[in-house]
Structure 1
Amino acid sequence: MSERTLDLDEFSDLIERPHGGLRRDAEERRSRTGLPAHALGRLDDLGEWLTAAQGQLPVAPVRTPRLVVFAGDHGIAESDVSTLPAGSAHTLVREALDGTSPAAVLANRFDVPLRVVDMSLDCDEDTFPEEISRHRVRRSSGRLDVEDTLSPEEAERAFRAGMAVADEEADAGTDLVVLGDLSVGGTTAAGTLIAALCGTDASVVTGRGGGDIDDLAWMRKCAAVRDGLRRARPVLGDQLQLLAAVGGADLTAITGFLLQCAVRRTPVILDGVVSAACALVAQRVAFRAPDWWVAGHVSGEPAQAKALDRMALEALVDQGVAVGGGAGALLALPLVQAAAQLGAELPVREEEEPRAAENGALDAT
C-alpha cells in the first residue's frame, strides 16, 4: 500500500466562511428598498447568501451556472436493492447526454450546460468521450456490505478527481454549480454514510430510492446498509477511509468536489440524498464548508432529511422529485437566480428613509 499524500485537515484552514460583513450589508441594503421586511420570504436569505459568497454588493445576477453530474455503478446493486439492474448506470448517462432524461430536459429549459463525470461506470472506458471518462477510477465500486468499495489509492484518486473538476469549473467561470449524480446503488451507499455519521440504525435511513422499490427489495437494502454500517463504524475518524469503505468512487469524488468548491468560493445547489451524504462527510472534514451550499429540494429519502437536519440546511423546494441526475436541484435554480436578480436590480432609497420606516412612518401593505 502506498503512503497517503492527501491531508484532509488542510481544508479546515483553506475554507473560509462567505463574507459575513457583506451579508449584513446586503440585509441593510434590502431594508432600504421600501418593501416590508418579510415580503420576499426566503428570497432575501438567498440573495444575502449569494452576496456573501460572491464577495460583492450589490449581488451579481447568476449568469453562468453549470449542472455537474458524477456517475458511477456500485457493486451493492448486485444484491437487488434497486429497480434498475446492476451495472446499468451507463444507460442513465446516455439518456442525459441525449437530452432525454428529466434533468437534461430541465437543464435545456433553463439553458444550463450539462457536464457528466464518469467515476466508475460499469462499461468499457471508450463507451463515452474522453472528456467524460478521463477522471474514471475503476469499473464499478466494490460491494459495501462485504468489502471496501475502493482501495486507499483509488479513494485518493477519486477524491482528487473531484477537486480537479471543482478547479476546472471555477477556472472556467462557473458562478453557481447545480450538483447531480447518476448511479445504480448510490442511495444505498449514501444511506450507509449518513447512518454512520448520524449514529442511527439502517431502517431509519433506508428509503425506496429513485425507483420506488418493493418491500422485499427494501428489506435487502436495509440489510446491505446494516452490513455496511458494521464496516463503516470502525473508520469514522478518517473520512477518506470511510469513503473508501462504503462510499464508492462517485461519492468520494463528490465529497472532494464539494470541499474544493468551498475552497474556490463557488456556491453549490445540492440535489438529493447522494449529494447530502457527501456534504455531510465534507462537513466532518471542514465545518465551515456547508456555508457554501444550499439544499435544492426534498427527495423523500429519510437519509437526506437526517443529513440536512444535521447540517441545518433547509431545502428550497419540495415536489417529491426522486429521479436524480440533478433534476430536483435544477428546480431550485430559478429561485436562486430570482434572488440574485432582485438583489441586483431592486432600487434602494436614501439613507434617511429607512430610519423613518423603522420609526413606523412607513406602513406595510
Structure 2
Amino acid sequence: MTLKRTFHIESLSAELVEPLQHKINNKTKPLGSLGVLERTALRIGQIQETLTPTLSRPTVLVFAGDHGIATEGVSPYPQEVTRQMVLNFLAGGAAINVFARQHDMELFVIDAGVNGDLPEHPQLLKRKVAPGTKNFLREPAMTPEQCEQAISTGADVARQVRQNGCNILVCGEMGIGNTSAASIILSQLGDFPVENCVGPGAGLANPGVKKKIEILQAAIRNHRIGDNPFQVLTTFGGLEIAMICGAYLQAAQERMIILVDGFISTSALLVASRLYPAVLDYCIFGHQSEEPGHRKMLELLRGEPLLRLNMRLGEGTGAVVAYALVESAVRFLNEMASFESAGVSTAS
C-alpha cells in the first residue's frame, strides 16, 4: 500500500551555512549567546536561501475531523464537540483565535471530516472527505482512496496559501479521539509499546487512560499491519491528520517554513517524514507538549522544541505562541548590528 501522489522535496543546501554562521557570529554579542535563536535563524536562512530572510503572511490552518474510535469512550468529551469547536473557531472565540490575532496571523479552518454540517463562512474551507473515520478497533479508519484524497487535499490547501504569499505555516487540528490515532501512529512507526505512547488526551483520569490503552492494544492486534507509513495512516489515522501530512509535504516542496505544533500535528509529520525524510529540513518545532508521546516523537525526529510550557491543547496553539521566537530569530539576523558596523571591539 503506497501513496500515489508524489512530491519533490529538496534537502537543504549547505552552501549558505558558512556565510550565515559568519553573519550570526559577528553580531554584537558573545559567540553563541543567543542559543536556540541562532540555530533557528540559520535554518530559516537555509530554507529561504538568503542571508536576509523574511516572514510573510504567517498562516494557521486548523484541520478538523471526527474519529470513529471516539465511540469506544477514549475521550471524556462526546464526538459532537468537534463540530461545536469548529463553530467556536469561526466565531473567533478559541485559544487559537486569540493567539493568531495576537501575532497578526491569518487563520483558516478546514473541514476534513467533521460529522455534521457546517455553515458557510469566509474562514471555513469545506473539504470533507467523509463524515469522520470508521472505528479502527473494528475496521480500518479510512480506505486507501480516502487517505490519498485527504493527503492531496491538504497539499492543495498548502499550495493555495503559498500562492497567496505565505512563507511560514502552522497546521493545527481539532478532532475528538485524535490522541488515540496519534498514539498508535507513534507506536507503529516508532516501534514503541502503545502503553508508552498514551496520555490523558483531553483530560482522561487514570481509569480512562487504562481503558484507552486496552482499546488501542486490541486495535493493533486486530490489524497487525507493521510500519508502512501510508498503511498506518490509512488504518489508524484521521482525515485531519492525513490532510496535515499532505500540507507539510507540499509546504516543504514550496520551501516554506513549517512551524510544528504538538502531539497530533507531529504525528502527521512523523508519517510525512517516513514518506519523504527531507520534509524535516523545513521544520521548526514550536513546543514540546505535555502529552507524553510527544517527547518520544520529538526524539525520533531529532526535533528541538523552542518552548516547554506544559501545553496540550492542540489547535496549533503551541506553535503560534512560539512564533514570537521565530520572529526574534529573523529580526536579530537582519537588524542587529555587527561588531564592525557598531564600532565594537571583538573578543580577543
TM range (shorter): over 0.9
**Identity of paired residues, percent?**
27
Partner of 1:189: 181
Partner of 2:274: 284
- Of 135, 149, 170 in structure 1, the residue corresponding to residue 141 of structure 2 is 149
Aligned partners of 1:194 and 1:205 also within 8 Å: yes
Cα distance, 1:128 vs structure 2: 4.3
Mapped partners of 1:105, 1:253: distance in 2: 24
Cα distance, 1:129 vs structure 2: 3.8
- Of 334, 338, 352 in structure 1, the residue corresponding to residue 324 of structure 2 is 334
Aligned partners of 1:159 and 1:257 also within 8 Å: yes
- Asked if residue 219 in structure 1 is aligned to residue 237 in structure 2, the reply is no
- Asked if residue 158 in structure 1 is aligned to residue 155 in structure 2, the reply is no
Partner of 1:28: 22
- Of 94, 102, 111 in structure 2, the residue corresponding to residue 118 of structure 1 is 111
Mapped partners of 2:305, 2:57: distance in 1: 22
- Asked if residue 254 in structure 1 is aligned to residue 251 in structure 2, the reply is no
Partner of 1:69: 62
Aligned partners of 2:2 and 2:230 also within 8 Å: no
Partner of 1:268: 258
What's the C-alpha RMSD, in Å, of the aligned pairs?
A: 2.1
Aligned partners of 2:3 and 2:230 also within 8 Å: no
Partner of 1:108: 101
Partner of 1:304: 294
Give a deviation string over 1:100-120, Cα, whole Å, max 9, x none: 111111111111111111101
Aligned partners of 1:74 and 1:87 also within 8 Å: no
Aligned partners of 2:62 and 2:108 also within 8 Å: yes
Aligned partners of 1:188 and 1:224 also within 8 Å: no
Mapped partners of 2:17, 2:77: distance in 1: 45
Give a deviation string over 1:2-27, Cα, whole Å, max 9, x none: xx99536x44xx21123322233211
Q: 1:38 to 1:276 in 2, by over 3 A?
A: same
Mapped partners of 2:332, 2:102: distance in 1: 21
Unaligned runs of 5+ in 2: none
Q: 1:58 to 1:232 in 2, by over 3 A?
A: farther
- Asked if residue 241 in structure 1 is aligned to residue 238 in structure 2, the reply is no
Give a deviation string over 1:86-135, Cα, whole Å, max 9, x none: 232011111112111111111111111111111010112x4344863432
Unaligned runs of 5+ in 1: none
Mapped partners of 1:170, 1:136: distance in 2: 21
Q: 1:25 to 1:225 in 2, by over 3 A?
A: farther
Q: 1:204 to 1:182 in 2, by over 3 A?
A: same
Cα distance, 1:141 vs structure 2: 0.8
Aligned partners of 1:196 and 1:232 also within 8 Å: no
Partner of 2:9: 15
- Report the count of equivalent residues: 347
- Of 337, 343, 363 in structure 1, the residue corresponding to residue 333 of structure 2 is 343
What amino acid maps onto 1:71 in structure 2?
A: A
